[in-house]
Amino acid sequence: MKTISESRCYGGTQGVYCHSSAATGCDMTFGLYLPPEAENEAVPLVWYLSGLTCTHENAMVKAGAQKWAAQEGVALVFPDTSPRGEGVPDDPSNYALGQGAGFYVNATEDPWAANFRMWDYITEDLPRVLFSAFPLDEGRQSIMGHSMGGHGALTIAMSFPGRFRSVSAFAPITHPTASDWGRKQLLAYLGPDEAKWAPHDSVLLMRKRGFDGPMLIDQGASDQFLEALKPEALAEAMMARRQQGIFRMQQGYDHSYFFVSTFMEEHMAFHANALYA
């Protein structure tokens, strides 16, 4: 693992690191914020999964999360959203496919299958690096995300019972098997068998098994992508399952990081409450 940078931040350290990934077959970059407490003990970890077109840097710079992570005494990891680099396939004509648009799945179709294994990267590869190299408490993890990253956070949380104590999302892609933000990507990455798509749809997972902890979903009511996100489908599925959780429509807010940063304090407090329970 290579250290790209480390900067003092709210008494802790905001680092950026690069490592060779077996899952994606290329070098991957991630950001990690460690609060002041990490100098003396292992601290809980919150995962933040970013959305389409983002790298590790977007939320790290724009979300304002470090202040609240320092206040709550938790670490924050900001993974990249896809494999990158020379030889990694891409679709420059479509921002919603290829580099920057990994959709947190393990691709099985060419040309994506060799590198686009973001599910394994987030659930197996990067955790090995984090828990071996940094003072993090593997037994206390939570996960959150925005848009495509909200989709990833919800599907991963529901697929690994017991791993995450809480999950939250900002404007998640909730029902990709029924959305233009999903069907095209799932077809490209996973092929035409829609049975293979179902494990990557949070609405279907909520109907099937739900999440074994508290959930917090924030959706901007003025989000320009509401039709693609389908928040009402997730809200209905949560109600039908009687899922422990909160679903909020935030009037006047759109899909941007202005929205995310506005409610980041509440999301960090929500996760800290679960992690320190």
List residues with catalytic annotation: 147, 223, 255
Tokens at 128, concatenated: 């090995």
Q: Is the dihedral of CA 182, 184, 187, 193 positive or negative?
A: positive
DSSP 3-state assignment of 161? coil
> Are the C-beta atoms of 209 and 158 separated by less than 8 Å?
yes
DSSP-H helix ranges across the chain = 57-62, 65-72, 118-120, 126-133, 148-159, 180-190, 202-208, 226-229, 231-241, 257-275
> Are the C-beta atoms of 37 and 140 separated by less than 8 Å?
no
For residue 115, how far is the Cα from the chain centroid? 19
Q: How far apart are CA 126 and CA 74, in angstroms?
A: 18
What is the full DSSP assignment across 188-220?
Answer: HHH-S-GGGTGGG-HHHHHHHT--SS-EEEEEE
